[in-house]
């Protein structure tokens, strides 16, 4: 086979190969066909990238916030100008519909870069004062150093922007590794940014899990950031602990959407279906668990089933496709295995099957009759599958919603404002939406509780994650 695309690493401001010359296949998930290769980065290549980033940090960390703002604004403008290329790369990467990337994900990535360009100039430090007689104290924020970052295959372009922008705004250098199945759009983003950044400040290496392990084991990074599974996060945390590295973990989710009897069910079902099946359910914020009150349970199940039938998967160029394929053959098999292992008391009321033989498409699927302890309720699937459970009271709704190891996001559907406020306080989730599910804002924090996260993205909180605080005290008396 003659491959059409050969990706390279990007280190020190230029495309680079690897010492061993090994590669990984790039497969289009909408066809199942290989269309290129990416480098398989080994330890020596990781070591070289870290040394380049460490050297570049010495200069970049001394730039002023205004200088970093100007660079990031130039990067954002260039990303916007080359939107068509980036959309094409992301759709080839993931199989997402063109409209989703063009109208939603790429604009948000640009917005995040611009937000952190501005945030670089308004970092907040603690107030200075005289806390010891004859001495004045103040605190200052400083960059950490080299940040090693790994992104997920669920939203490659958006997650790259969300990690890189605050790290650079804070004055750090970055070595970034995208997921092995979806490096194409990230590689293009890094090369675009490289036109404006000093050489070595932002570097890209491609590879597999072992490449990521080499990054976290390397002595240079002062911080390791990953968006991935709980298992990956625990492995990273354990490895980083051996060298007392700071970790920034954004992990899984099993988001509940709690629909009370007084909710507008047609509206709730429409929006929950979009949040459950969009991106083929491959999002840690997907509304994968619906909890419905006794008075609306049957109506909610029926409405979600109708939407599951109506929301058809398809390739990126299909204007009628509601969502694209699963990421890989392996991910398709994971979804199918979960459905094959359903207990007898669970019923598939819509979908449940692979869609077609070409590519990794799967029908939007609704499963009712599940119990709280069932695997499909407890585990993140990352597929277009939603479960529906019945609750009898507000207290039971809270118990069911909180009864998993995740705590990333949740949504509440009700016309009762007081109930909505009570639920927003009681739900163990980093974000609680009321009568909506999925919108994010660059200005507000995105994080989670329990096994979902140990760090914050977005807003000034995301910028603070990539800095450290220093106390400076000066004596008045020089004698």
- What's the CA gap between 71 and 194, in Å, rounded? 10
In the chain, ranges of CATH 3.40.309.10 domains: 256-441
Question: Is the pLDDT at 1 greater than 60, yes or no?
Answer: no
Place of tokens 């029926």: 302
> Model's pTM, two decimal places?
0.95
pLDDT tens by residue, 232-287: 999 999 988 888 899 999 999 999 999 999 999 999 999 999 999 999 999 999 99
- In angstroms, what CA-CA distances link 26 with 6, 34, 93? 9, 6, 8
In this structure, CATH architecture of domain 5-251+453-471: 3-Layer(aba) Sandwich (3.40)
Provide the pLDDT for residue 125. 67
The fold for domain 256-441 equals Aldehyde Dehydrogenase; Chain A, domain 2 (3.40.309)
**pLDDT tier, 477 (very low <50, low <70, confident <90, very high otherwise):** confident
How would you label 41-78 residue by residue, b for 16+ Cβ within 10 Å and e otherwise?
Answer: bbeebbebbbbbbbebbeebbebebeebbebbebbbeb
In a 13 Å sphere around the CA of 409, the CA atoms on its Cβ side amount to 23
What is the reported pLDDT for 123? Answer: 76
**CATH 3.40.605.10 residue ranges for the chain:** 5-251+453-471
Q: What is the pLDDT of residues 193-213, one digit of tens each?
A: 999 999 999 999 999 999 999
């Amino acid at each position: 086979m003659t491959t059409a695309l050969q990706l390279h690493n990007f280190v020190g401001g230029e495309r680079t190969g690897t010492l061993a010359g090994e590669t990984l296949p790039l497969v289009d998930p909408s066809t199942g066909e290989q269309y290129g290769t990416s480098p398989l980065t080994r330890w020596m290549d990781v070591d070289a990238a870290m040394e380049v980033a460490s050297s570049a940090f010495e200069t970049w960390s001394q730039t002023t916030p205004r200088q970093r703002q100007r660079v990031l604004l130039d990067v954002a403008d260039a990303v916007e100008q080359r939107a068509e290329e980036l959309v094409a790369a992301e759709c080839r990467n993931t199989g997402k519909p063109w409209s989703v990337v063009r109208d939603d994900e790429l604009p948000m990535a640009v917005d995040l870069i611009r937000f952190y360009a501005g945030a670089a100039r308004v970092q907040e430090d603690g107030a200075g004062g005289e806390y010891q007689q004859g001495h004045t104290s103040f605190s200052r924020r400083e960059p950490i150093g080299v940040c090693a970052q790994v992104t997920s295959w669920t939203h490659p372009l958006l997650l790259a922007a969300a990690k890189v922008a605050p790290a650079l705004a804070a004055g750090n250098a970055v070595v970034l590794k995208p997921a092995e199945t979806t490096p194409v759009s990230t590689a293009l983003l890094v090369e675009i940014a490289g036109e404006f950044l000093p050489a070595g400040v932002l570097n890209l290496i491609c590879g597999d899990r072992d490449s990521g392990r080499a990054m976290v084991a390397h002595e240079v990074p002062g911080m390791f950031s990953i968006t991935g599974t709980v298992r990956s996060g625990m492995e990273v945390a354990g490895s980083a602990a051996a060298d007392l590295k700071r970790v920034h973990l954004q992990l899984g989710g099993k988001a509940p959407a709690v629909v009370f009897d007084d909710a507008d069910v047609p509206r709730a079902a429409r929006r929950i279906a979009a949040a459950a099946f969009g991106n083929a359910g491959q999002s840690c914020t997907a509304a994968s668990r619906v909890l419905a009150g006794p008075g609306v349970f049957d109506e909610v199940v029926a409405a979600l089933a109708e939407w599951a039938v109506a929301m058809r998967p398809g390739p990126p160029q299909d204007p009628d496709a509601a969502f694209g394929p699963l990421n890989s053959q392996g991910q398709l098999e994971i979804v199918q295995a979960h459905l094959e292992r359903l207990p007898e008391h669970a019923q598939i009321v819509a979908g449940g099957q692979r869609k077609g033989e070409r590519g990794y498409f799967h029908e939007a699927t609704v499963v009712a009759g599940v119990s709280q302890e069932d695997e499909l309720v407890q585990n993140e699937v990352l597929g277009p599958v939603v479960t529906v459970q019945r609750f009898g009271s507000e207290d039971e709704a809270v118990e069911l919603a909180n009864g998993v190891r995740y705590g990333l996001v949740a949504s509440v559907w009700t016309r009762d404002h007081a109930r909505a406020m009570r639920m927003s306080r009681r739900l163990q989730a980093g974000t609680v939406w009321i009568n909506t599910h999925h919108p994010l804002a660059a200005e507000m924090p995105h994080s989670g509780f329990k096994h979902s996260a140990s760090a914050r993205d977005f807003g000034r909180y995301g910028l603070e994650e990539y800095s450290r605080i220093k106390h400076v005290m000066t004596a008045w008396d020089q004698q």
